[in-house]
Structure 1
Amino acid sequence: MYQPREQFHSAHRFGIEFGGAVLSFERVADVLRRQWPLIVAAVCGSLMLVLIYLVLAKPMYTANARIMMDTRQTQVLDKDSGTNSALIDTGYVDSQVEVINSDDLILSVVRRLKLTQDPEFNGSNAGVVAVVIGKIMSLFDSGEPASQERIEHAVVERVQKNLRVERVLTTYVLSLSYRSENPDKAMKVANAIADAYIVGALEAKYQSTKRATEWLQQRSAELSEQASASDRAVQTFKAEHNIVGTSRGLMSEQQLSDLNTQLVQARAATAEAKARLDRIDGISDQDLAQPTVTDALNNTVITRLRAQYLDLQAQYSDWSKRYGKTHLAAVNLANKMEELRKNIADEVRRIADAYRSDYEIAKSREASLEKNVKDLVAQAGHTGQAEVKLRDLESAADTYRNLYNNFLEKLQSATQNQSFPLSEARLISTATKPDRKSSPKTVLALVGGLVGGLCLGFGAAFARELLSDVLRTPGEVEEELGVKCLGILPDIGPARQMPKARALAPLAGRDAGNANGAIARYVVDHPFSRFAETLRNIKVSIDVARLNREIKVIGIVSSLPKEGKTTVAANFGHLTALTGHRTLLIDGDLHTRSLTRELAPNAKTGLIEALTDPSSFGYHIQRSKETGLDFLPSVVASRMVNSADVMASKALADLLAMVREDYDYIVIDLAPVMPVADSKAVSFLIDAMVYVIEWGNTTRSALQESVSGSEILQKKLIGAVLNRADPKMLKRIEAYKGKHHNSYYVEHA
């Protein structure tokens, strides 16, 4: 019976859920067996690219020099420096990396070593690829000859491309590496860049100290005047606006804070009074004697009146039953009850008037507070503007005063350091001539290519499997349908047949001797093939099921056309007939009649005529002389509109009931499930169904939609079979079965 894939898979073997599929160790092995050509192709392609790179790449040599940021040299004149002041910010060290890579520093090295005349840098000794790229890029240039500045800039870019400067871990050491085709040149350029950086640092520090001293002298005088003027401006402003500061600020600010608090409370009181008034107005229109009204008001007077009302109501009910509603006592009680209802209504109106008065008082108080707040805000605005101006003046005065003090201190320090500049960097490792090439690294490149190819291959293989929605293994079929997969039928299409395959023997002297006919009787020509053995497995499964229930009428069905169900039905009919069982094969696909075209293309009558007159059934049968298979074709002039009604008719039921007495197996080639409704219509007449699934083509979605659309079809399924499997792919998939697994099969006669 059909099971949802979630229920079927809940008891599956241990695996990892990924993307709706379960990746168990067995499934991974299956994926590798199926997709190993793709993995091998990816690895070979990756290694080929690596080999091409190794052949074309020029050997490069790397020279390394190291520079240290030495803070102790700058402490000679700093008498107050301690351990903390000697530390250099890590950002400063990283900034020096950019300084070494700067265009100006590299340009000084280019000019010093005259690298514009070196073929390695000016491009005169470039390879074929570089020459071609240069020719292409020249098409977009202006065509004017390159200037000296442009040539130098190109050489600077080439040097920067081969230069690598980085910080060594978390130390103050910079590693300077330069790559070149010549080891001597690599050493010379690396040392030249290191020397240029040390000299440039000294020169830059001297010039900056000199400029700083001159600027500090001028700026200190200006700041002294600005600080004095700012202090005078603060005092003058306070006197003009009569501003006196307190610990809690201005009086208007304190009053505004208190009024804001009172305003919030007044708004809450107004909302509460409005809610009570809305509630009393809402219940005024209701029956005031109801308990919901009195309970909502929670008023002792109303509660007492309602209690009296209930007592009178009970007494009135009792007397009305005894003496009638027109009795004087009953009438008096009704009048008293009405009077109590009026009293309750009067009390409710009194409460409503009280609530309305409270609401009006609360609104008045809220409006008064809002007016006071607005007045205070307007009043505080003028004072606040003066305070803003005062804070600006005080801030400016403090800033000028602090700046003046800082500049005065820096001026004294700069005056001392101007005549004694020291660099914080020193060369701790001079570059030496490299004795081995640094790139390309052959072993590392090959290992990387191998690992990259494997990763790419595995990724492509698993992506191809996980993204694929088709079925290729019995486990996948059982996972989707919840029924047994009865086997895998290899592809026996015309392209895979032997050139000298025997022609089809006629059925009753009228069979077609073409390739399709040979496929339809493949089990006759190849009785020991895997195809025939798989069909025997289907027959055995049906025979085992017949021990528990009667199974004679067997439907061969598929989800979509062209999945090979007709070929399976024809060969299964021949197989059962060859075993000595009385077998009837019926072409039940009234739309295409492909089985009739293969086995009896010249038939004039068939299933439709047999349904009209079941007693003449034998006149429409085509019998194979070689296998003894009886075939009932379908002959119609044009495609039938009511084919589903024909297949579900009582005439077909009577015909099947009649032929059950004469045949052991009745095999019906049914129409596909998804395009037409014929298979669903006739499913109640079928004892068992075999579902044909095209290997590597039928999607899970189509299979799920086909089977889940008919509950009867689900119950009648005895198993499924994968058809048209690629024999080469099957060998990879079933490699775990051993090399002797197919030794019993003889595919060619």
Structure 2
Amino acid sequence: MQQTNITQNDRTHALLDSVMPREQAEEGGLGETVNFALGFLRRQYAVIIFTAALALAASTIYLRITPPTYTGQVKILFENPKAQFVQQQSVLAEIPIDNAQLETQIQILKSKAVATSVINQLGLADDPDFKASGRPLLSVLRGIRGWFGSAPADVQVGRQGVLMDGLVAAFNNRLSAVRLGYSTVIEISFSASNAERAAEIANAVANAYVTDKLNAKFEANRIATSWLQDRLKALGQQALTAERAVNAFKSQNNIVAADGKLMDEQQVTELNSRLVAARAQTSDALARLDRFKTILRQNDANTANASLDASVSEALSSPIINNLRQQYLELSRRERDWSARFGRNHLAVVNLRTRMRDLRTSILDEVRRLSETARSDYEAAKQRQGAIEKQLSQAVSRSRTTNSAEATMRELETSAKSYRSLYESFLQRYMGAVQQESFPITEARVISPASPPQSKSKPKSILVMILGLLGGLALGTGLAFLRDMLDRVFRTSAQVEAMLHMPCVSLVPLLKAAEPKQLHEHADKASDQGTIVRRSGVYWAASDMPLSRFAESIRSIKLAVDLNVTNSSNKVVGITSSLPNEGKSTITAALAQLMAHAGARVILVDCDLRNPSLSCNLAPHASVGLVEVISGECPLDEAICKDPKTNLSFLPTVKKQPLFHACEMLSAATTKHLFDHLRATYDYIVVDLPPLAPIVDVRATAPLIDCFVLAIEWGRTKTDVVQHALHTAPSVHAALIGAVLNKTNMQAIRRYDNYHNDYYSNKHFARYGYTA
């Protein structure tokens, strides 16, 4: 069986190599990408076009129902118009004009104060553009008031506030303010259904913003001047009191400092630096000692298999250990070489291992010596660290008293300096504010007032249509790609060969539902039990239409059976499928009659004991069949039906009652004897088998069948179903000579096989007299 698998795989790889050179040559190139794109468009163009048409229709509907919007625009320049000397004497510091300042002004433009001012000034509460936002809420409030009577005054005020909030929200939704590039110009835009109204509101917003800036600056200057006057008095008294407290504290504690720093502080700083260095030395010594301990634990001399890895010499950086380890490695190499040549018990090999053990011991002794040295260094460093810590502790203890007094003194000095500095700064600003006149000027001015726009700003018809078309194409492509990716069925022979690792021996075309006229001419309605009934013309298409692509595809299956080199005998051919209704019975009947029509002695056996559909069509009046022959109830000759035209023999299966042990019956010794008798009597035995996935009967027939053919329905059978069915039936998989793509749409397959689409053209078959 293993040899059979190897031969089958080799034959499969050879077939793949014969059909793939063109694909491999173009792999990763532009040609493959173009072929894939063209094939994808041929398969899914309907989805893409339909989605794009829907998107265009949606865009058209949107343009129809959306009212036009006009946008008025006004530009404001934000700058500092004050002279330099005026800025220096100003009570309030001038904020520099930067990105943050401009963003702040944009938020002020969108504030509720500006919006409320414009709404009240222009009476926008009654404007049609704002009624949709403010009136529904007002209607609800009025309805509630009608239910419960008149509301108190505070409730009415609250309702007015809610109404105003709705108007402000609607106003801000139509208002936008943006900075133009890197300039200090802010562009204010307002959208309305009327061009004149849009320009009027935009200009009103700009004027309200400038007025608000002037009022805010005047109020800020007035409050700042009043506050400075009161603050100067308090700061003067606080500065005088703080300076007197500093002088009194110095006299009480006899504090004298050189360059503002005491001697105790210098000593503590020096000792602290020394302590840091001592701790670093102690830590290094401890790390080195720990490394020695780790090496000694890992390479204990008492351990029989102790190893000397490269970390010993690399970590210690000892030339002695490096030298000894080089010798050890050389002896180890020689020991392996001599052991292979003279044997492990040879005297020279034993001497080498003795020398290696001595070298290992020497290395470990050197490590122990270095460990003791590291231990001494660590103890010395630890003692130095302790001495410095003791000195530092004493110095800190001595300076605590002095530091406490010094901290208090410095706090007093700092407080006195701060009060004095604040007093002088406030005094300077107050004098400048008193001498400076108030300038009624603001940083913002209108440089381009709004005028009624000539065209609507939105919706832009061309842009909406383009976006709709592009969006529809993108969505359609995405849906088409998803649909293409989810199409996990067999479409081409290359898919069969790549996923199942077996050759696709034939592409059987789909027979049309309307049967040809010539198929009905041979219909036989006789009820003779020993004669095959020609009830369905589909089963006789191979012999009744010999010059058809269907008949040629069946010949391809017969040729694959005859040329199968994996078995010495290919008499018994089993046709199966993964799932029911994949057309295996049709292929079985067509293959058998084609062999019989060629003059061979052929018997067709229906081994689908649970659902004998082939027997129901070819021998509907049979009363005995395969089950009766196996059980010994009747002889073989009485159960066989004949076709007088093709001389085809047929052993049907008569289903009289449900069979609960079909697989045991197929694997019985009497069944094997029956097939041995058929082998001796006929040239070919074509067996119609049940599907693999639902039942296990096919596995029981593996010892009876020389070779299997797997029928796969084109465009319907899932790839993972076939793979799982073959995985659960390894004996059947090993005897498979190939797969057949049944019910193939020869026109549609050209959209999936990009490389060989010209292969399926009818003109090549018509040259030899074949029809579709």
Fold similarity call, TM over 0.5: yes
Could you say if the C-alpha distance between residues 546 and 79 of structure 1 is closer, same or farther in structure 2, counting changes exceeding 3 Å?
same
Q: Which residue number in structure 2 is paired with residue 155 of structure 1?
A: 167
Alpha-carbon distance in structure 1 between the residues aligned to 2:493 and 2:446: 72
| 1:451 shift after superposition | 0.7
| 1:601 shift after superposition | 4.7
Alpha-carbon distance in structure 1 between the residues aligned to 2:532 and 2:446: 94
Q: Which residue number in structure 2 is paired with residue 720 of structure 1?
A: 739
Structure 1: stretches of 5+ with no match in the other structure: 304-343
CA offset digits 1:109-160 (Å, max 9, x no partner): 111111112233223999xxxx8x9999999999778944333332222221
CA offset digits 1:58-82 (Å, max 9, x no partner): 112222211122345565734899x
Q: Which residue number in structure 1 is paired with residue 37 of structure 2?
A: 28
Alpha-carbon distance in structure 2 between the residues aligned to 1:484 and 1:390: 99
Amino acid at match of 2:60: L
Q: 2:439 aligns with which of 413, 416, 420?
A: 420
Q: 2:536 aligns with which of 512, 518, 523?
A: 518
Alpha-carbon distance in structure 2 between the residues aligned to 1:166 and 1:583: 89
Alpha-carbon distance in structure 1 between the residues aligned to 2:299 and 2:134: 102
Answer with 441-450 or 666-675: which moved more. 666-675
Q: Contact (CA 8 Å) 2:549, 2:771: kept in 1 or not? A: no
1:106 aligns with 2:115: yes
Q: Contact (CA 8 Å) 1:179, 1:186: kept in 2 or not? A: yes
Q: Secondary structure at the match of 2:451?
A: coil
Alpha-carbon distance in structure 1 between the residues aligned to 2:429 and 2:526: 115
Q: 2:56 aligns with which of 29, 47, 56?
A: 47
Q: Contact (CA 8 Å) 1:542, 1:551: kept in 2 or not? A: no
Q: Which residue number in structure 2 is paired with residue 168 of structure 1?
A: 180
| 1:101 shift after superposition | 1.3
Alpha-carbon distance in structure 1 between the residues aligned to 2:486 and 2:419: 71
Alpha-carbon distance in structure 2 between the residues aligned to 1:420 and 1:432: 31
What RMSD over aligned residues (CA atoms) do the two structures have, in Å?
A: 5.7
Q: Which residue number in structure 2 is paired with residue 340 of structure 1?
A: none
Alpha-carbon distance in structure 1 between the residues aligned to 2:448 and 2:84: 23
| 1:97 shift after superposition | 1.7
| 1:419 shift after superposition | 0.5
1:57 aligns with 2:73: no
Q: Which residue number in structure 2 is paired with residue 537 of structure 1?
A: 553
Q: Secondary structure at the match of 1:521?
A: helix
Alpha-carbon distance in structure 2 between the residues aligned to 1:656 and 1:247: 116
Alignment of 1:250-329 (within 5 A): 250-259=266-275, 261-263=277-279, 265-266=281-282, 286=302
CA offset digits 1:540-578 (Å, max 9, x no partner): 253166256464432222233443333433344345445
Q: Contact (CA 8 Å) 1:109, 1:193: kept in 2 or not? A: yes
| 1:378 shift after superposition | 9.4
Amino acid at match of 1:450: L
CA offset digits 1:566-616 (Å, max 9, x no partner): 343334434544555543222233444443344435544433454567995
Q: Which residue number in structure 1 is paired with residue 455 of structure 2?
A: 436
Alpha-carbon distance in structure 1 between the residues aligned to 2:162 and 2:97: 38
Q: Contact (CA 8 Å) 1:557, 1:673: kept in 2 or not? A: yes
Alignment of 1:119-134 (within 5 A): 119-123=128-132
Q: Contact (CA 8 Å) 1:110, 1:152: kept in 2 or not? A: no
1:196 aligns with 2:205: no
1:178 aligns with 2:178: no
Q: Secondary structure at the match of 1:65?
A: strand
Alpha-carbon distance in structure 1 between the residues aligned to 2:531 and 2:430: 113
Q: Secondary structure at the match of 1:174?
A: strand
Q: Secondary structure at the match of 1:440?
A: coil
Alpha-carbon distance in structure 1 between the residues aligned to 2:667 and 2:753: 42
Answer with 380-389 or 447-456: which moved more. 380-389
CA offset digits 1:401-444 (Å, max 9, x no partner): 66556555555565566611422222121111122222222221
Answer with 264-273 or 498-507: which moved more. 498-507
Could you say if the C-alpha distance between residues 731 and 271 of structure 1 is closer, same or farther in structure 2, counting changes exceeding 3 Å?
closer
Alpha-carbon distance in structure 1 between the residues aligned to 2:738 and 2:307: 71
Q: Secondary structure at the match of 1:58?
A: coil
Q: 1:464 aligns with which of 480, 483, 491?
A: 483
Q: Contact (CA 8 Å) 2:68, 2:456: kept in 1 or not? A: yes
Could you say if the C-alpha distance between residues 717 and 188 of structure 1 is closer, same or farther in structure 2, counting changes exceeding 3 Å?
same
Number of residues paired by the alignment?
683
Alignment of 1:630-641 (within 5 A): 630-635=649-654, 637-641=657-661
Alpha-carbon distance in structure 1 between the residues aligned to 2:630 and 2:236: 120
Q: Secondary structure at the match of 1:123?
A: helix
Q: Which residue number in structure 2 is paired with residue 699 of structure 1?
A: 718
Q: Contact (CA 8 Å) 1:165, 1:175: kept in 2 or not? A: yes
Q: Secondary structure at the match of 1:691?
A: strand
Could you say if the C-alpha distance between residues 740 and 491 of structure 1 is closer, same or farther in structure 2, counting changes exceeding 3 Å?
closer
Q: 1:116 aligns with which of 125, 129, 140?
A: 125
| 1:462 shift after superposition | 0.5
Q: Which residue number in structure 1 is paired with residue 327 of structure 2?
A: none
| 1:499 shift after superposition | 13
Q: Secondary structure at the match of 1:77?
A: helix
| 1:57 shift after superposition | 0.8
Answer with 455-464 or 576-585: which moved more. 576-585
Amino acid at match of 1:189: I
Q: Which residue number in structure 2 is paired with residue 672 of structure 1?
A: 691
Alignment of 1:76-91 (within 5 A): 77-78=86-87, 88-91=97-100
Alpha-carbon distance in structure 2 between the residues aligned to 1:240 and 1:575: 126
| 1:30 shift after superposition | 2.7
Answer with 613-622 or 738-747: which moved more. 738-747
Q: Contact (CA 8 Å) 1:180, 1:186: kept in 2 or not? A: yes
Amino acid at match of 2:556: V
Q: Which residue number in structure 2 is paired with residue 607 of structure 1?
A: 626
Identical-residue share of aligned pairs (%): 27
Structure 2: stretches of 5+ with no match in the other structure: 1-7, 325-360
Q: Secondary structure at the match of 2:536?
A: helix
Q: Contact (CA 8 Å) 1:511, 1:599: kept in 2 or not? A: no
Q: Contact (CA 8 Å) 1:209, 1:417: kept in 2 or not? A: no
Q: Secondary structure at the match of 1:439?
A: coil
Q: Which residue number in structure 1 is paired with residue 348 of structure 2?
A: none
Alpha-carbon distance in structure 2 between the residues aligned to 1:156 and 1:287: 87
Could you say if the C-alpha distance between residues 718 and 258 of structure 1 is closer, same or farther in structure 2, counting changes exceeding 3 Å?
same
Answer with 64-73 or 237-246: which moved more. 237-246
Alpha-carbon distance in structure 1 between the residues aligned to 2:134 and 2:282: 91
Could you say if the C-alpha distance between residues 154 and 660 of structure 1 is closer, same or farther in structure 2, counting changes exceeding 3 Å?
same
Could you say if the C-alpha distance between residues 247 and 188 of structure 1 is closer, same or farther in structure 2, counting changes exceeding 3 Å?
farther
Amino acid at match of 1:701: D
Q: Contact (CA 8 Å) 2:525, 2:535: kept in 1 or not? A: no
Q: Contact (CA 8 Å) 1:589, 1:670: kept in 2 or not? A: yes
Q: Which residue number in structure 1 is paired with residue 588 of structure 2?
A: 569
Q: Please report the TM-score for the alignment, with normalisation by the length of structure 2.
A: 0.70
1:583 aligns with 2:602: yes
